Structure 1
Amino acid sequence: MTPTNFYDAETNCVINNGHLASSTNGFVNSFISEMAKGIISDNGAQIWLGSTINSTNWTDGQPFSYKHWAKGEPSLSNGCVTMQISTSDWYAKSCNTPFPYFCEINASASEAYPTTQPIFVFYNQNWTEAEKICVQKSAHLASIHSTLENSFLVEFAQTGFSVSDGMDGYTWFEWQTLIGLYDSYGNGDFKWTDNSSIDFLNWGSFWPNKPGQPTGVGLTTDEVTGEPGYFQHWFDSYQSVEYRAFVCKKAAKLS
């Protein structure tokens, strides 16, 4: 976090098995901004993001397709990308200028979750596409079988700030995290995508409430402003709705 130039910042992130933060969509961009506000007292400060101005990819290899330039930016023909944390807008700066930075570290398995290997994917996807991505990784959207497991996934996937309807143009539930529970026909016959047993449920007070429609289930990993009872509970939603995050889970390899 100590202000440093772009190249040294990226090197420090790589040493720690990560990269400078990549901002691949509106959810992620807002998350980085809110996280930085909670750590850096000067909201007028800027932080490095993981790309040069003319690059086609972020330093972690993801396509540099989403952009959130401030008006009149990029103002340099060459340089690196910063974010002003008060507005989440991007600016072009000399790569040799020192700025604070955040590293994006790949999540790994936790001792608190010993029987599975969770994989956190920080992209906005709808339930159907999220499950497809999990299957491509030889996994499924996460199933939950205990209060401990539920709490672990909340801690694992949360952004750490309170969300609300209309925040950056999204509903409160679009900020939350998809899990593997689903109802194909809207008849209340919920199943886990990994075919594990339904031995634990943690519905919020008003859910499930989408009869007659195929639904996927979300976990409220961040508190909702004015709705304290939503946090850590589940809700059903249409499978076409995009969410901030989802968690894939695959069985641990047993030796």
Structure 2
Amino acid sequence: MLYAFIVEDEQFAREELKYLLTETGDIEIIGESETMHEALWDINECQPDVVFLDIQLAKGNGMELAKQFKHMKKQPMIVFATAYDAYALDAFDLDAIDYIVKPIDGVRLRKTVDKLLVHAQFHRGKPQQEDIQPQGTKTIPVKDDDRMIIVQVDEIYYIGTENRQTYIKTAQHKYETDLLLYQILEKLGDDFLQVHRGYIVNLKQVSAIEPWLNRAYNLILKDGSKVPISRSYAKHVKQKLGIK
């Protein structure tokens, strides 16, 4: 079974593709989106095996969205499903598994799914490249009204997410940034640790840890902020803090 995400701004086309994919018996739809911004955020969160992607979106271009996938921890396979055949060469330059021209029929889609299954089987079990430890950056660009300002990394208490928006919290301010959580984490050094799907914390700013509901915890920071630690991260966080 492969887990799929659909990016398509036309509801009828999206529903038809969902139906055809489900009918194959080898695809489970775990997310869908109409816009680039929502899609990039949600794909990074749910980490699908494959993204079925339209090219001409009402808000954005599917080609530009696909270029962002290479920066993700889990890079999904790409299948373009579009009414235009002029972009096929560009699509395969992005390592797309297939390029389907609408209207899509079940027989053609079955061939695509078979390609995906073969590709997934081949790459399953392939050793992953060793993670490159980030050297750390000293500054992060953030929004402040109509200005872009530079925040020193040492001033950051934590980075969080809210309503598909990433923000950076310092002692005095809470700034928005266009960077996604994983993109920021890649830029930071060892003093920063992801403690929840939606939070990264500066360990130098942690003053205490307290138990919370269902074996979860809260980190209490030096400015009084509380940041949740999800159960899946708790063991690693306690190890980093030297807590047994």
Superposition TM-score, scaled by structure 2 size: 0.27
Bigger Rg, which one:
2
Higher helix proportion (structure 1 or 2): 2
Higher strand proportion (structure 1 or 2): 2
Higher RCO (C-alpha 8 Å, min separation 6):
1
